[in-house]
Chain A
């Protein structure tokens, strides 16, 4: 626990010691707000933050691989992975600390968008339940994508490879949960298969929580999804000890 916390603190601080935190954060927030503003103006300003959270998943598909690609690949390239893995710490603690730091950083970025619902709330009657639900859903969703990206980063020392693999996986996961695709697939695929495929995607559960309805099953799903990839991540790192 203490070790995880030490790794978490160092990681989170390191985001703000390099330009990446600022570049990624500003880029993400600007693009989000741009789309949201556009959508809101076109729709005639309804007091809802839906466009914000509707755009978010795809923005994460695009931007997150750029953030997660370096998480392990860079450590390996710099040799600091050797330092971390010879500390008297279990690999799981390293993985968890790194993961939580990345999620915490994304939480900070998400908070930067809070001006939008606040503005909407000030000028109209905003229903805050779905907004709060959406923030929670976004964070869980982002976390699940971080777990995937971080896993790929642990399999290679080449950041580009990690980025491309993450981009493809995230895109597929995103599409599996895309309501339009589900509708299309229902036309020719057996219903149970649609359910299974759809059920794999974090996107589905994001949509569900974002409505403002908190279902334990959705939370369990995110815990399992992240747990699976973090475990795979730890195994990939442990495998390095055998392969060298």
Chain B
């Protein structure tokens, strides 16, 4: 449905995209993750025809976004980050305008608008001026605009940013429903959003794709797992012994011992060696007692932080302290 090949974009001297390649199949819901300025919006703006790429190519539903731009745009519903609305218009006027300019024939406009209104639950505000609406409603009007022509592809740039928690839940469930009928690309800062509604994740950082796959694939490939164990025994001796189980450069994180019980977290090497078994045997051999032994798979959040070296919005501060 969407093919992007070696896409690059420079603004003057700043390179926003440095060769991005990915494809999206019909029916996928892609979560675009990345810190601010990573190139998410730029990619979306190129896909929707708002910007021209500096090099590389992209096509939507078989139409090249540069050579055959108008045809490509016809297949896309787009909600930009800024939620572009004409404040002085009423909701129904605005949606009619969008339906008309998209070329929906007059006899089908009523049905098309009615459908979009119903899906976005806008019935109550149809006659209101857009400027009077709450932010959540404005966002839904923006979404209704994007789906009024039933496009095969939906591009949503941070559809939930700036909304309150209730509104986020509403918009998110709406996106989830839309994902059943449309191919969706959405960008976001909220990792929970991706975990809930996306079938695939693309993590982008400094203009490059750093990970692409399902959440499980990404966390397995990039996040790795860690071993957490609590041991009653002399802390220094325990550390020395544990260190021998791991490659010399592997990190061991310790929490301060309480009542002679020390807590350790070992990053597991991707080789799949049975570190857990070895650690258990080691503790028993030394005559210490093993109070806890857990293998933890890295979360998407950990992986994101590891890949982009920065902190995603909404990450819990105390977790960051451990990293």
Whether a CB of chain B sits under 8 angstroms from the CB of A217 is no
Instruction: Please report the total number of A residues contacting B with Cβ < 8 Å.
Output: 25
Which one of B68-76, B258-266, B293-301 contacts A?
Answer: B68-76
B83 touches A79 (CB 8 A): yes
A115, CB-defined interface residue at 8 Å: no
Q: Give Cα A2–Cα B103 distance, bound, in whole angstroms.
A: 8
Check if B323 is an interface residue, CB within 8 A of chain A: no
A18 pairs with B88, CB closer than 8 A: yes
Whether B84 lies near A17 (C-beta < 8 A) is no
Residue-wise, chain A 1-24 has the 8 Å CB interface mask toward B (1 for contact) of 011001100100110011000000
1/0 contact trace for B43-62 toward A, CB 8 Å?
Answer: 00100111110000000000
B107 to chain A, nearest CB (A): 15
Task: Please tell me the number of chain B residues within 8 Å of chain A, measured between CB atoms.
Answer: 33
Verify if A244 is at the interface (C-beta below 8 Å from B).
yes
What is the interface of chain B, defined by CB distance below 8 A to chain A?
9, 11, 16, 42, 45, 48-52, 70-71, 73-74, 76, 78, 80, 82-89, 93, 97-98, 100-103, 145
- Closest CB-CB distance, B140 to chain A, in whole Å? 16
Interface pair A78/B52, CB less than 8 Å apart: no
Contact indicator A87/B102 (Cβ below 8 Å): yes
The 4 closest A-B pairs by CB, nearest first: A79-B82, A83-B84, A79-B84, A88-B74
B76–A86 contact, CB under 8 A?
Answer: yes
**Residue pair B71, A80 in contact (C-beta under 8 Å):** no
Q: A230 → chain B, closest Cβ, in Å?
A: 19
A82: nearest chain-B partner, CB-CB: B80
B70 touching A90, Cβ below 8 Å: yes
Residues of B within 8 A of A80 (CB): 84-86
CB distance from B105 to the nearest CB of A (A): 10
Smallest CB gap from B54: residue in A: A242
Q: Which residues of B contact A86 (CB under 8 A)?
A: 48-50, 73, 76, 78, 80
Decide if B73 touches A88 in the complex (CB within 8 Å): yes
In the assembled complex, A214 has its CB within 8 A of some CB on chain B = no
The answer to whether A85 touches B103 (Cβ under 8 A) is: no
Task: Write the nearest CB–CB distance from A22 to chain B, whole angstroms.
Answer: 13
Which of A81, A86, A89 is the most central at the interface, judged by chain B CB atoms within 10 Å of its CB?
A: A86
Q: A79-B80, A88-B102 are in contact. Are A6 and B50 (CB under 8 A)?
A: no
